[in-house]
Chains A and B, each alone.
Chain A
Amino acid sequence: MAQIKINNLSHSYQKNKQILKDLSLDIHDGELLSILGPSGCGKTTMLRLISGLLPMQEGSIIVAGGDISKVPVYKRNFGMVFQSYALFPHMTIFQNVAFGLKRKKLSKSEIFEKTLSILKTTGLLDLKDRMPNELSGGQQQRVSLARALAINPDVLLLDEPLSNLDAKLRIEMREEISRLQKKMKMTTIFVTHDQEECFAISDRVAVMNHGKIEQLDTPQNIFRHPKTKFVAAFVGYENFVPKQWAKEHNWRYNDIISGSQLTIRPEKIELGSNENILNGKVLVKNFLGNNYQYIVETELGRMKVDTQQENYEINDDIGLSFSEKSLIELEDGD
């Protein structure tokens, strides 16, 4: 519905403690963009600034060409889904979903029609006369989503909407969000700290750390070519090697980037082949279902290895090998 341009956004709650630092970000019309970052990095702060719930201190936000920095929350026509669902506990599901439409001075029959239609789309029709405290967590989340979508918002903001659900429901709901978002072609910002869930549904992902965007790209590119150590660690690269060390030991890697670190995923490392690159001793062996994870003490420190091989035990001396193509160069973060 709308393109969003976030320009030089900064925010601090207390003096000398900046939470967001000169953050700029463009979100394309109709795209689902995820903000991925650890707890406390400023994701909620950013979403609250966009929604207007938090007054802006520095920077500007442009939606569909218009500066909304000074538009009050209730005039922005955004949809927001909160981590706590935030359903109105004294209203039925129907009333919850109709609430936003009622604020729009539509005719009674129009409100009724639109509410019914969104309840139908979200599969909530049977629950329309229940009270929120009579629903399960997953159902409440669905209502929260339906309520936000009912007003046909210009932008949909989702703040860790799945974090209170169990694993199975989480997958179900994220697919539901993805389905509705595509169907309504709604510009969506999805905040999460879960790498898997955000890769599954996002068009693009912005990885955030300490109030800054470290990398903005498609899920595939972020997964295959993380830019910094922080991004790499966040998307499952567990092993880091100083470039200097690799150079001294004649490892062959692309030397294009000026950073000082290399990284490799645990599943790219093999154990006990003939051309060992690194020697070590098994410290820990864990069964993870699909594979085993070994933690191996080497002269580079502890390396994590995910492999199908199961015939190694704790204290075994083993060699690590990997294709040098799997080594990824990282930029130095700041």
Chain B
Amino acid sequence: MKKRAVLFLLPGLLLIFILLIYPVIRMFIPTFTGGQTIFSNYQSFFSSENNVQIIFRTLFIAVMTTLVTLGLGLPTAYWISRLSGRWRKIISIIVLFPILTNAVVRNFAWIMILGKNGVINNFLMKMHIISSPLTLLYTNLAIIIGAVYLFLPIMITSLVSSYTQLNSEIEEAAEVLGSRPIVVFFKIIIPQISVGIFTGSILVFVGALTAYTTPQLLGGNKNMVLATLLQQQSITLGDWTSASVIAIVLTVIAFITMIALNWVSKVIDRRNSHEIKN
């Protein structure tokens, strides 16, 4: 019986190997060859000040995007989760709506808003608050704004699903025991939704880390991130080894973040480290 089962799995396994594992290996190997030592390619990548700056900018944008979506998502998702059934569905669909539109279109909307002759500058000039237009577009801020807009629905969705699993009597018990609402939120609610915070943060962080369209359109050429650098190295310059190095650096950063966040969420919520014993 068991041998037969393996036989059934074979086509699927083969497909996964050819389409997923093999390409990754093919990407890995060249980054460790062709130099004096196996790390030569990495040494030269990290020795460029420009590259290091790009890594930090990428991290900065990903971290800020995660924190801002978390800050906006926590109260919004809480509010959504407390709505009655029908309203919850309606609002959830509205929240998800931006995801259904094309990423390029969405970023162009922000270009119209943030540009030199965009909505914001026009408004501020008309109100005589500023005399010359502010530089909003093609900055880190623009990328972060675009990324927050892009990823907020994902954060909210993952938080709402955590919030709706809460038993409201637990919060009430805390209140009766003398907790103000703010204490209830931080001591009772946050620890219980740590899984949702973890999932949402990972999705947003990795998404913002690897996003290409948004930094390309809103950051311009001055504010490159790893994804746009990768595109430049591979498509524009045809340097596939450097591109692979960047890809692997991205993967490693994502991986480390995941482990770190997982650890943090376990510290916040000890339920995950205690298995049920009886």
Contacts and interface: CB of A to CB of B under 8 A. Distances in A.
Nearest to A144: B173
Interface stretch (A86-94, A169-177, A202-210, A219-227): A86-94
Interface of A: 51-53, 73-80, 82-84, 86-92, 99-100, 103-104, 131, 133-134, 136, 147-148, 151
Contact of B173 (A76, A80, A133, A134): A80
Interface stretch (B13-21, B210-218, B232-240, B266-274): B266-274
B84 interface: no
B176 interface: yes
Contacts of A51: 176
Contacts of B169: 82-84, 86
Interface string B151-174: 000000000000000010110111
B162 to A, nearest CB: 13
A97 B157 CA distance: 34
Contacts of B81: none
- What interface size band does chain B fall in? 20 to 34
Chain B contact surface mostly: helix
B121 interface: no
B196 to A, nearest CB: 14
Contacts of B175: 53, 73-74
A74 B277 contact: no
Contacts of A99: 174, 177
Contacts of A77: 178
B179 interface: yes
Nearest to A99: B177
Nearest to A84: B169
Most A C-beta atoms less than 10 A away, residue of B172, B174, B178, B179? B178
B183 interface: yes
A89 B271 contact: yes
Contact of B192 (A53, A78, A89): A89
Contacts of A104: 178
A147 B172 CA distance: 13
Contacts of A151: 177-178
A147 B274 CA distance: 21
B191 to A, nearest CB: 4
B271 A131 contact: yes
Contacts, number: 76
A174 to B, nearest CB: 21
Most B C-beta atoms less than 10 A away, residue of A77, A82, A90? A90
B5 interface: no
B172 A131 contact: no
A82 B173 contact: yes
B177 A100 contact: yes
Contacts of B269: 90
A53 B172 contact: yes
Contact of B278 (A74, A87, A134, A147): A134
B176 A88 contact: no
B176 A90 contact: no
B4 to A, nearest CB: 40
Contact of A103 (B167, B178, B268): B178
B177 A147 contact: yes
5 contacts: A52-B176, A74-B180, A88-B188, A90-B271, A148-B177
Given A103-B183, A131-B271, A134-B276, A86 B177 contact: no
Contacts of B191: 90
A219 B175 CA distance: 33
Nearest to A92: B270
Nearest to A150: B177
A53 B176 contact: yes
Contacts of B180: 74
Given A86-B167, A89-B170, A89-B271, A103 B176 contact: no
Contact of B172 (A86, A92, A134, A148): A86
Contacts of B278: 134, 136
Given A90-B191, A90-B269, A74 B172 contact: no
A78 B176 contact: yes
Most A C-beta atoms less than 10 A away, residue of B170, B188, B191? B170
Contacts of B277: 134
B47 to A, nearest CB: 46
Nearest to B172: A53
Q: Which 4 A-B pairs have the closest CB atoms?
A: A103-B178, A100-B177, A86-B169, A86-B173
A148 B271 CA distance: 22
B195 to A, nearest CB: 11
A56 to B, nearest CB: 16
Contacts of A78: 176
Contact of B178 (A53, A90, A100, A134): A100
A82 B172 contact: yes
A86 B176 CA distance: 12
Contacts of B268: 90
Given A89-B271, A147-B177, 20 more contacts: A51-B176, A52-B176, A53-B176, A74-B180, A78-B176, A79-B176, A84-B169, A86-B170, A86-B172, A88-B170, A89-B192, A99-B177, A100-B177, A103-B177, A131-B274, A134-B276, A134-B278, A136-B278, A147-B173, A151-B177
B240 to A, nearest CB: 48
Nearest to B183: A103
A73 B270 contact: no
Interface string B218-258: 00000000000000000000000000000000000000000
